[in-house]
Amino acid sequence: MIKSVIFDLDNTLIDFMRMKKLSCDAAISAMIGAGLNTSKHEAMRELFALYDKYGLEEKTIFQKFLKKVSKKIDYEILASGIVAYRRVRAGFLEPYPHVIDVLFELKKRGIKLAIVSDAPRLKAWIRLVSMKINHLFDVVVAFEDTKELKPSTKPFEVAFKRLKLKPSECLMVGDRPERDIKGAKKLGMLTCFARYGNPKAESMNADYEINDIKELLEIVE
């Protein structure tokens, strides 16, 4: 019997990559408007190459970007990019369709809800609060809780301990099979691949696969 549903956050509850791309697009446009000498296409390519190298949560990504593209940091250009990025990001932090309805229905059924995310703790909470769903979760496990990234089993183990449940009583839902599904399977959890968040990925033999989060309600039944 499923007593808890544990969710990944980015690209499972929130369309994180779309938010990231729109925010970066605005940042690049603002930096070019402030005097950065590059094309928008080339700038986006360089920026996301740096994200691939340093991670999507890298705090100094625009500083690294300016050093790479123009060999120096012009702080007017840097500030223009950061302001534009934050403005778009703040306006886009919304959950995928049906997320809120599904979370409320799961709570109504007595299912405990948890987050296991690789995101830093503050950023995870900012996203949850911005989407106005923070109060729905019994447990939130972020990077600082273990200092290890999925598919390490440690983040999941922290969630089980706080939920006071066995792995077999929990369903893990995530968009990154190589992290979410692989890590959960090591512990004997039920797994659900959120294909809507990562359409081209292999499911890695997840127990379930969904194209819309509302399909979770049938699985939990």
Residue 8, pLDDT score: 98
- Angle CA(149)–CA(154)–CA(141) in degrees, nearest 5? 70
Cα 132 to Cα 19, 99, 105, 108, 129, distances in angstroms:
17, 11, 16, 17, 5
Residue 47's pLDDT band (boundaries 50, 70, 90)? very high
Q: Which domain holds residue 119?
A: 4-14+95-220
Which tokens go with 51? Answer: 């994200």
Angle between helices 16-33 and 61-70 (to 10 degrees): 50
Regarding whether 207 and 123 lie in a shared domain, the answer is: yes
Helix (H/G/I), strand (E/B), else coil: 14: strand
Q: Tell me the per-residue pLDDT of 179-221, one tens digit each, with 9 for 90 and over.
A: 999 999 999 999 999 999 999 898 889 999 999 999 999 999 8
Regarding whether 198 and 118 lie in a shared domain, the answer is: yes
Of the residues 92, 122, 137, the one at which a domain ends: 92
CA distance 12 to 150: 15
Of the residues 92, 121, 152, the one at which a domain ends: 92
Regarding whether 192 and 150 lie in a shared domain, the answer is: yes
Which tokens go with 118? Answer: 């690789």
Regarding whether 141 and 82 lie in a shared domain, the answer is: no
Closest CA to 8 of 193, 218, 204: 193
With beta carbons less than 8 A apart as the criterion, state whether 116 and 141 touch.
yes
Regarding whether 53 and 118 lie in a shared domain, the answer is: no
Q: Count other C-beta atoms under 10 Å from residue 131's C-beta.
A: 18
Cα 177 to Cα 40, 48, 89, 148, distances in angstroms:
32, 22, 26, 17
Which tokens go with 25? Answer: 């697009």
Cα 200 to Cα 14, 60, 118, 194, distances in angstroms:
18, 30, 21, 11
Domains contained in the chain, number: 2
Q: Tell me the per-residue pLDDT of 141-159, one tens digit each, with 9 for 90 and over.
A: 999 999 999 999 999 999 9
Q: Could you give the percent of the chain with pLDDT greater than 90?
A: 90
Task: Return the CATH number at 51.
Answer: 1.10.150.520
Regarding whether 135 and 99 lie in a shared domain, the answer is: yes
Task: Return the CATH number at 135.
Answer: 3.40.50.1000
CA distance 137 to 19: 23
CA distance 2 to 4: 6
- As beta bridge partners, residue 192 has 173, 208
Q: Is the pLDDT of residue 94 over 90?
A: no
Regarding whether 138 and 85 lie in a shared domain, the answer is: no
Which of 94 and 44 is assigned the larger pLDDT?
44
Helix (H/G/I), strand (E/B), else coil: 118: coil
Q: Is the pLDDT of residue 99 over 90?
A: yes
